[in-house]
Amino acid sequence: MTYLQFHLVFILPPLLAMAFMAGRIRPRIGARGWLPLLAVGLIAFVYTTPWDNYLVYREIWWYGPDRVVGTIGYVPVEEYLFFLLQPFLTGLFTFHVLARLPGAGAHGLRAIPGLRLEPPPERPERVRWLGALPWFLLAGVGAVGLTTESGLYMGLILAWAAPVVGFMWLYMGPSLWRMIHVMGLAVAVPTLYLWAADTVAIRNGIWEISERYTLGPRPLGLPLEEAAFFLITNVLVVVGVLLFALPGLPREMGGTGKDPVPTGRT
């Protein structure tokens, strides 16, 4: 299997399926509701490009030359494509989860049992810091990892991504707290799926992960660092999409910027 075939088999089918079903949720998201996907995709592309080039330069991960179309810098063309596809995949799933909140009123979609918004916190500043501090601590752990050989990959992941999540909690912690159940589901499902897809890719030799720069554990064949990467990047995508989307969503979907939109149903 080549890297391009990996996209065709694992990434594009669920992405296209969710895009096809997007007509049901569009009345709730609004005409400009898809702009957050574009914004997060562009930011992810710009922010990830130098970081990932450094990983390949350091031989933390590498690819089979016969598995890719070509490279730009140190990174395969298909990897740059993934910088955009993952935010679109996880971001679209986030919108589908939002549309299944009770009272969201998306056409033909049932609410997910147990999915709800939390009430606004009584102490917003406390929520901001309680949400942000664990991420800043993880960034500190990452900084320590950068000083060791086996911890280098994990250190680069945590030091690169965790501070961003921490600052987003400081910026919009009360809103994120209200959406905690949405975020949990929107992060968990794509992460589990990408863990499985990544495991298949590694077993098929599309790319390989250095044993020298990793901590060692590989549950079910997936390096711990790869699991952490997909988890934390999906957190970044979900929180980023909410950051851009909430001001334009109706209130029953956790938004703050407009009144509920008529759905045509009674």
Helical ranges in the chain per DSSP H: 3-6, 12-20, 22-29, 35-57, 77-98, 124-145, 152-178, 180-203, 224-245
pLDDT at 259: 41
State the alpha helices, DSSP H only, in 179-205: 180-203
pLDDT of residue 117: 87
CA distances to 49, 52, 156, 223, 232 from 229, rounded to whole Å, are 15, 12, 10, 10, 5
Contacts of 1 (CB under 8 A, 6+ apart): 9, 67, 200, 201, 204, 206
Q: Using CA atoms, how far apart are residues 242 and 244, in angstroms rounded to an integer?
A: 5
**DSSP track, 203-244:** HTTSEEE-STTS-S--GGG--HHHHHHHHHHHHHHHHHHHHH
d(CA 256, CA 247): 5
Written as tens digits, the pLDDT of the chain (266 aa) is 999 999 999 999 999 999 998 877 776 676 677 899 999 999 999 999 999 999 999 999 999 899 999 999 999 999 999 999 999 999 999 999 988 888 765 556 788 888 898 999 999 999 999 999 999 999 999 999 999 999 999 999 999 999 999 999 999 999 999 999 999 999 999 999 999 999 999 999 999 999 999 999 999 999 999 999 999 999 999 999 999 988 877 776 777 655 433 333 32
Return the half-sphere exposure (C-beta side, CA atoms, 13 A cut-off) of residue 100. Answer: 19
Q: What is the pTM of this model?
A: 0.92
Tokens of 227: 């699991």
Supply the pLDDT for residue 30: 65
How many whole angstroms from its chain centre is CA 207?
21
Could you give the 3-state DSSP secondary structure of residue 148?
coil
Between strands 71-72 and 75-76, the pairing is antiparallel
